[in-house]
Amino acid sequence: MPISTQEVEHRAASDAESIAWVDESDQLLGTLPRAELRERGLIGRGTYILLFNGEGELCVHRRTLSKAIYPGYWDVAAGGMVQGDETYAESAARELEEELGVSGVELTAHELFLFDQPGNRVWCAVFSAVWDGPLELQPEEVLEARFIPVQQALDESTTEPYCPDSVAALLRFLACRDNA
């Protein structure tokens, strides 16, 4: 599947976005372009929104092939990098609306954790929301989306390409929920 001109332009704009740059303790150090954070192996802030429907199924979506990391992978969370002038909650609301067209829902904050793998170092803020309305997919970032049982997503993540950072967010969410 070829990458559209629209996706290429979106990727270039995304790479230039000013992202919150933090240290290993999530202390703000400043802002840097997204591409520079990635190239230098620095840590940024990111949001991970687990979107459930009223029946408890999880929205999973497939990323476009133009994404800088995990292109074409399945993702169990909407979300993205926190811009320099945003809080985690502001970023989560913006990303959920941009990627899946969902706005005006209550976002529940769960926890922060450091995801640290080569090429993807990010302080992750995990949120959840419930939505039974239609999804409006952002064509530059999302190829397709569907709601499936959580266990199915976990099972698929062992045999299909799933984003490891969002799977980590889901596992942490489930562990906290089960221990509550």
Residues making up the binding site for Mg(2+)? 95, 99
Secondary structure letter of residue 162 according to DSSP: B
Q: β-strands 120-130, 108-117: how paired?
A: antiparallel
Per-position DSSP letters for 75-144, written without gaps between them: ESSEEEEPBTT--HHHHHHHHHHHHH---SPPPEEEEEEEEEETTEEEEEEEEEEE--S-----TTTEEE
Give the integer Cα–Cα distance in Å for 139 and 63.
10
3-state secondary structure of 167: helix
Which residue positions form the known binding site?
A: 95, 99
